[in-house]
Amino acid sequence: MTTILITGASRGIGAHTARHLAGTGATVYAGARHPEHVQTDDGPDLRPIGLDVTDDASVTAAVQRIRDEVGALDVLVNNAGVPGSWAGPAEIGPDDFRDVFEVNVFAPARVTRAFLPLLLRGEHPRLVMVSSGMGSLTLQSSDATYADIAHLPYPASKAALNMLVVQYAKALPEVLVTAVDPGLTATEFTAGSGHSVAEGAAAVITAALDTTGPSGRFTDRHGPTPW
Ligand SMILES: NC(=O)c1ccc[n+]([C@@H]2O[C@H](COP(=O)([O-])OP(=O)(O)OC[C@H]3O[C@@H](n4cnc5c(N)ncnc54)[C@H](OP(=O)(O)O)[C@@H]3O)[C@@H](O)[C@H]2O)c1
């Protein structure tokens, strides 16, 4: 039996991923600031769990519950994320960066540290970081996909998250660590622009179920994508 925790599972890519993975027979903890917002169906083992990824007490309580109920975690998916401010260089300040990095970078590090003991007791432990192609230096360079979009904190936060994936993969050889890019996906995050949520969740689901690796990759739904 595979046990999975996904953060930010109240809606969007996280909600779809949680439901899909529960449908494969896994026990899935759907982390949400408001767990009553997690949609559950009869049948699959989808367990809403209160989890504000920016709050130490909330993360500690989630660790305790999962430890008490199942004792180990096979897959941790750090999915919760925020887009942050689109203000330009003349207006944007450190607090705008801090708000985005708090959820997109510091929180995955907090949640990973807190769940690491349970993850190391899991079978084929996997750590999936939901990143973005916007965090790819290659895809941001001239003539590439995001060359014409200037958005300061969000791409910087996902570039930082990508580097964390590279470093976690080196530091945790017993864990399969993957950064995934959902691609532009029609959720609240994009005000409905982009491909379907199922297409956006595909890379997350593939990484969560993959037990072969290699570790330290950046993938989208078509396969490896450039850092
Ligand atoms: N949509 C895209 O085009 C796209 C493309 C590339 C990457 N991504 C990444 O994919 C991930 C999911 O995005 P999405 O499109 O599904 O966005 P979304 O629909 O806006 O959902 C974001 C999720 O993150 C949760 N969240 C935010 N702050 C949180 C906190 N402090 N603690 C716990 N949960 C928190 C939200 O929970 P609440 O309901 O409590 O607010 C929500 O469940 C993000 O990391 C995003 O950067 C998205």
Q: Is 29 a catalytic residue?
A: no
Quick one: which of 174, 193, 173 has its CA closest to 183? 193
Give the residue carrying structure tokens 């949520």: 197
Cβ burial 55-91 (10 Å sphere, 16+ → b, else e): eeebbeebbeebeeebeebbbbbbbbbbbbbeeeeee
> Is residue 53 in contact with ligand 1, taking CB distance under 6 Å?
yes
> Is residue 34 in contact with ligand 1, taking CB distance under 6 Å?
yes
Query: For residue 43, what pLDDT is reported?
Result: 83
Among the options 29, 146, 158, 168, which is catalytic?
158
pLDDT digits (tens, 9 = 90+) for 203-222: 999 999 999 999 999 999 99
Ligand 1 centroid distance, CA of 5 (Å) = 15
Query: For residue 63, what pLDDT is reported?
Result: 98
Q: Determine what percent of the chain is predicted with pLDDT higher than 90.
A: 95
* Residues in the chain where the model's pLDDT stays below 70: none
Ligand 1 centroid distance, CA of 80 (Å) = 4
> Is residue 13 in contact with ligand 1, taking CB distance under 6 Å?
yes
Domain containing 166 equals 3-224
Q: For all residues of the chain together, what is the average pLDDT? A: 97
Return the CATH number at 187.
3.40.50.720
Give the residue carrying structure tokens 């532009």: 184
Contact between residue 185 and residue 173 where contact means Cβ atoms under 8 Å apart = no
Query: For residue 111, what pLDDT is reported?
Result: 99
pLDDT digits (tens, 9 = 90+) for 97-110: 999 999 999 999 99
Query: How would you class 38 by CB atoms within 10 Å of its CB: exposed for 0-12, middle for 13-18, buried for 19 or more?
Result: buried
Q: Is 170 a catalytic residue?
A: no
Provide the β-strand partners of residue 89: none
Query: For residue 152, what pLDDT is reported?
Result: 96
For ligand 1, mutation pick of 52, 187, 221 (most atoms within 8 Å of CB): 187
pLDDT digits (tens, 9 = 90+) for 42-75: 789 999 999 999 999 999 999 999 999 999 999 9
Query: For residue 42, what pLDDT is reported?
Result: 77
Ligand 1 centroid distance, CA of 71 (Å) = 27
Number of domain units in the chain: 1
